[in-house]
Amino acid sequence: MHYEAPIRRPLITGDKSYEDITRDVSRPIETNAPRSWWIVFSIALLAFLWGIGCILYTIGDGIGVWGLNKTIGWAWDITNFVWWVGIGHAGTLISAILLLFRQKWRMSINRSAEAMTIFSVIQAALFPLIHMGRPWLAYFVFPLPNQFGSLWVNFNSPLLWDVFAISTYFSVSLVFWYVGLIPDFSMLRDRAKNPVQKHIYRILSFGWAGRAKHWQRFEEVSLVLAGLATPLVLSVHTIVSMDFATSVIPGWHSTIFPPYFVAGAIFSGFAMVLTLLIITRKVLHLESYITREHVELMNIVIILTGGIVAVAYITEFFIAWYSGSNYEDFVYMSWGAATGPYAWAFWALIICNIITPLFLWFRKVRRNFLASFIISIVINIGMWFERFDIIVMDLSRDYLPSSWAMFSPTFVDIGIFVGTIGFFFVLFLLYARSFPVIAQAELKTILKSSGENYKKLQAKEEHGH
């Protein structure tokens, strides 16, 4: 049993024992949902239904019901796609990379972060599907044998890379998440009084018993999955960025996109995790597990990734100017953009993504829940604008001025986006009341090393000598 240095602040506050953890984690599931939950849930559900309506309208009438045109063939659809995928990165990143780095503080947040990943990737996956002119032929993108024999997909196309990247990412994250859930499900199973509940959790827990050998395999599998998920998570946004980077459109054709998109993804992902957890800890009374420490640590990651993103913007701006090519005059990071018809979008991006995160350099701000909450939301808005600017501004003014055009969304564009947000929260709220929102089994392993009370004890002992 190893103990960590007393200088490290405790990750579990309050006088907690193993039973306490069990009780605290299963409380939301064993108690009834408060009114507040029902209110939020019904709002989310309404938004979700509205979104479905808009999607059906689109599929019924044609993509023409969106605001797109001959010059701007993508706008909100792909913006939302990239935005959701980006958000989806934090989960896997927290549980995979931080696991590899043995970051113990991940344990109280990784479960929810992964849930968020799964749910947002579901939203993301929706857009490539419905943005198709003929979604009912979507299966064409899979390399399936067909009646035409030699009619295969085009493996040169970044969109096809997306198909493979997104589906792999989604399924692997799902498996990773589920494997981690199994011991916690079995805990719920063994506590459950209500037979129905017991039955459900019995099925979900795959009959886990916590045998020593199983634990041994469990830990190795988690470790290997983490090892696989880490390059995977980096590859996904790399490939998404290649949708643009491999094109010839000024502003899209940019070699720094992969690293910069990944950084952006983590940036927005962590922001979203913050947004969610700051609410969750209050609503589900998990203050002693999701502590100021966690918030601060995540804010630090945001400062780092936000910094990378900011540097990327500046680089883009510089290169656009330095290239001396007048095709680059109006790319999303350029004077042309800053002063052109889309100046408002340009400045929205700068303010949300470069200026606002700077406040996190103050320790007071990054240890303040409310401030972090607001900033995290601003960052998510900013990251949405980043994708909007890249897609719409670059398309609206490309090579031939004769084809320049502009874009403005229709109610359908907006409706579908709102719908996905609704769908996301519907899923997350259901999760919050039926799943163990904290990886309690893992957390118990660090109770002694990082629990506040144990740290005190240990401190005493040392002084005693």
Partner 1 sequence: MADKKQYWRGIAELENPGLKEQLGKNEFRDPLPTDEFLSDENALHNGQTSRRDFLKYMGFTTAAATLAACESPVYESVPYVVAPEEVIPGLANYYATSYFDGHDYASLLIKTREGRPIKVENNKMAKLNGSANARLQGSVLNLYDSSRLQAPRKGSESIDWETLDAQVIDGLQKADAAGKQVVLLTGSVISPSAQKVIRKFGKQFKQFRHVVVDPLSYSEKLRAWQEATGKRALPLYHFDKARAIVSFGADFLGDWVGQSVSSDYAKTRVPGKDMSRHLQFEANLSLTGSNADQRYKLKASETGLALAELYNAIAQAKGRPTLNLKGKSSQYQAVQKAGKELLKAGAKALVVAGGNNADWEHLVIAINKMLGAEGNTVNVEQRCFLRQGSDQALENLTADMKAGKVGGIVLHNANPAYHRAGNLAFKEALQKVNTRVAITPKANETAQACDFLAAESHYLESWNDFKPADGHYSLQQPTIQRVYDTRQFEECLMRWAGMVGSYREMIQNSWQEGMLRDRSWKEVLHDGVFAAATPLAGATQEPAEQETAQEAQSDGANLDRVAASVSKMAQNASGMELNLYQKAGVGAGMLANNPWLQELPDPITRTTWDNYVALSAADAKELGLRNWNESDGALNGNAVNLTIGKTKLKEVPVIVQPGQTPGTIGLAIGYGRKGLGKVADGVGLNAQQLSVGRAHFAEVEVEPLPEYKHPFASIQHGYTMMGREIVKETDLSTFLNKPAHTAAGDGWNELPEFGTYKGEQAPDKTTLWSSFDHETGHMWNMSIDLNMCTGCGACVVACQSENNVPAVGKEEVRNFRDMHWLRIDRYYSSEVTEEMAEDLSTAELYDQMEKAADSPSVYFQPVMCQHCNHAPCETVCPVAATTHSSEGLNHMAYNRCIGTRYCANNCPYKVRRFNWFEYHNNQERFDVNYSMNEDMGKMVLNPDVTVRSRGVMEKCSMCIQRIQLGKLEAKKNGVPVKDGQVQTACQSACDTGAIVFGDVNDKESKVFQLKGDDRMYHLLGEVGTQPSVFYQVKVTNKA
Partner 2 sequence: MATDQAPVVKALYDDDDVLLRGVKEVREKGYNVSEVYSPFPVHGLDEAMGLKETRMAITAFFYGLVGLTFASLMTYGMLIVDWPMNIGGKPSFTWGENMPAFVPVMFELTVFFAAHLMVWTFFIRNGLYPGKKTANPDPRTTDNMFLMEVTPEDTQSSDELLALLRESGAVEVSQNKEADA
Which residues here bind partner 1, judged by CB under 8 A?
Answer: 61-64, 67-71, 73-74, 128, 131-135, 137-138, 140-141, 151-154, 156-160, 163, 243, 246-249, 326-327, 329-330, 335-336, 338-341, 395-396, 398-408
With CB under 5 to 8 Å by kind, the binding choice for 68 among partner 1, partner 2, none is partner 1
Query: Among 39, 151, 314, 343, which residue interacts with partner 2 (rule: CB under 8 A)?
Result: 151
29 binds partner 2 per the rule CB under 8 A: no
Q: How many CB atoms lie within 10 A of CB 103?
A: 13
* Cβ contact 112:280 at 8 Å: yes
22 binds partner 2 per the rule CB under 8 A: yes
- Nearest Cα to 424, choosing from 21, 87, 149? 87
Please calculate the CA angle 289-295-300 and round it to the nearest 5 degrees.
Answer: 140
Query: Among 204, 284, 390, 427, which residue interacts with partner 2 (rule: CB under 8 A)?
Result: 204
96 binds partner 2 per the rule CB under 8 A: no
- Nearest Cα to 98, choosing from 87, 88, 109? 109
Q: Within 251-329, where are the H helices? A: 257-283, 292-322
Least Cβ distance, residue 206 to partner 2 (angstroms): 4
Q: Tell me, residue by residue from 242 to 281, as one string, x for binding to partner 2 by CB under 8 A and - for no binding.
A: x---------------------------------------
Least Cβ distance, residue 72 to partner 2 (angstroms): 22
Least Cβ distance, residue 401 to partner 1 (angstroms): 3
Using CA of residue 32, residue 33, residue 35, residue 39, what is the dihedral sign?
negative
d(CA 27, CA 290): 16
Query: Among 155, 326, 402, 408, which residue interacts with partner 2 (rule: CB under 8 A)?
Result: 155
Which region among 153-161, 261-269, 308-316, 331-339 touches partner 2 (by CB under 8 A)? 153-161
* Cβ contact 266:93 at 8 Å: yes
458 binds partner 2 per the rule CB under 8 A: no
Question: Residue 262 or 295: which CB sits closer to partner 2?
Answer: 262
Within a 13 Å sphere around the CA of 449, how many CA atoms are in the beta-carbon half? 15
Q: Tell me the residue length of the chain.
A: 465
Give bridge partners of residue 12 from the DSSP assignment: 451
What letter does residue 368 receive in the DSSP assignment? -
d(CA 24, CA 61): 50
Report residue 99 as tokens.
């696991």
Q: Which amino acid is at 406?
A: M
Query: Among 13, 247, 445, 453, which residue interacts with partner 2 (rule: CB under 8 A)?
Result: 445
Query: Among 8, 210, 314, 318, which residue interacts with partner 2 (rule: CB under 8 A)?
Result: 210
Binding site for partner 2 (CB under 8 A): 1-2, 17-19, 22, 143, 150-156, 160-161, 164-165, 167-168, 171-172, 175-176, 179, 182-183, 186-187, 189-191, 202-204, 206-221, 223-225, 228-229, 231-232, 235, 239, 242, 441-442, 444-445, 448
